[in-house]
């Protein structure tokens, strides 16, 4: 069952990406609803596969966490496309989600979910959702940078033409940053309340990097509200904050598990 669900999800992800990539290849576009149906089914199968693999528990080891983040990000991508069709988003997110799921199921070392209380599960939920939302916001920042570069150089390639209008890309990016900032705030507050010993659990560096990322996004949102920050400054701050989150959420676990071989 696990193998079937994993392969089904991967095939559906790639099929959805194929539907969304057709406009970039200057072919006759397939109906957007087809891509959305395939992506929704892929996300459902992905979630079911994770439940089958981890027994419904929360496995936060490196590859399992990557697959869980991919699931959340793909689901968010589907929701964004329901509100504002952005085909290019699916072209990037869906193949990546398929690859991370395949690695988690077929290539990653065997691990077991950690026994954690509901308070920590709530903290993990806020953190995963915040990280996923900011990941999509970072993709929009990259899109925004590509669009601005195309405008400056007066060269509108297939990718720039397939993206939504620049003002919509920027608006979506800031909406996602606002939602992600709220989720990160809840993650930090719940972590302070529920995580007892940061030093003993090798979490102090993760906490410091997460707070630094939270501060960067907070400064960006304040600058947007107070001085109307946009363009390159917004892109750079968004990507800087996302880099800090990557180092905090995944970098520390990568070092602990794959470099130092400290698997709980």
The residues spanned by each domain of the chain are 1-115, 116-264
In the prediction, which pLDDT does 85 show?
75
pLDDT tens profile 141-163: 999 998 888 887 777 666 666 67
Radius of gyration (C-alpha) of the chain in whole angstroms:
19
Cβ neighbours of 124 (radius 10 Å): 19
Tokens at 152, concatenated = 């400056």
Q: How many helices (H) and strands (E) does the chain have?
A: 10, 0
How many CB atoms neighbour CB 198 within 10 A? 15
- The pLDDT of residue 165: 80
**Dist CA 51 CA 82 (whole Å):** 26
- Mean pLDDT, residues 81-86 taken together: 80
| pLDDT given for residue 134 in this prediction | 95
Residue 51 pLDDT greater than 90, yes or no: no
What confidence tier does 218 reach under pLDDT thresholds 50, 70, 90?
A: very high
pLDDT (average), residues 13-35? 78
- Give the DSSP per-residue string, 84-110: S--HHHHHHHHHHHHHHHHIIIIISPP
178: number of CA atoms within 13 Å, CB side?
A: 11
Is the torsion defined by CA of 86, 91, 92, 98 positive or negative?
A: positive
Going by the DSSP 8-state scheme, the letter that residue 199 receives in this structure is T
In angstroms, the CA 254 to CA 61 distance is 9
What's the CA gap between 185 and 190, in Å, rounded? 8
Query: Can you tell me the distance from the alpha carbon of 59 to that of 138, in angstroms, rounded to the nearest whole number?
Result: 25
Angle at CA of residue 180, ends 42 and 20, nearest 5°: 35
Q: What's the predicted TM-score (pTM) here? A: 0.87
Q: How far apart are CA 46 and CA 95, in angstroms?
A: 13
- Return the structure tokens found at 106: 């077929």
């Amino acid at each position: 069952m696990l193998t079937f669900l994993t392969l089904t999800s991967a095939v559906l992800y790639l099929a959805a990406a194929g539907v969304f990539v057709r406009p970039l290849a200057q072919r006759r576009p397939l109906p957007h609803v087809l891509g959305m149906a395939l992506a929704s089914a892929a996300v459902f199968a992905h979630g079911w596969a994770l439940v089958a693999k981890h027994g419904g528990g929360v496995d936060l080891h490196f590859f399992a966490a990557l697959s869980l983040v991919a699931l959340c990000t793909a689901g968010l991508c589907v929701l964004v496309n329901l509100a504002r069709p952005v085909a290019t988003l699916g072209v990037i997110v869906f193949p990546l989600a398929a690859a991370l799921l395949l690695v988690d199921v077929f290539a990653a070392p065997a691990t077991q979910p950690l026994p954690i209380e509901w308070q920590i599960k709530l903290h993990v939920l806020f953190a995963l959702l915040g990280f996923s939302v900011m990941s999509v916001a970072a993709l929009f920042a990259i899109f925004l940078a590509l669009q601005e570069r195309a405008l400056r150089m007066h060269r509108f390639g297939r990718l720039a033409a397939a993206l939504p209008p620049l003002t919509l890309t920027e608006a979506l990016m800031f909406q996602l940053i606002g939602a992600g900032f709220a989720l990160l705030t809840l993650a930090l507050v719940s972590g302070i309340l529920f995580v007892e010993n940061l030093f003993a659990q090798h979490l102090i560096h993760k906490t410091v990097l997460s707070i630094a990322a939270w501060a960067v996004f907070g400064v960006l949102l304040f600058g947007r509200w107070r001085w109307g920050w946009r363009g390159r400054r917004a892109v750079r701050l968004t990507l800087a904050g996302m880099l800090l989150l990557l180092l905090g959420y995944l970098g520390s676990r990568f070092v602990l598990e794959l470099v130092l071989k400290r698997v709980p």
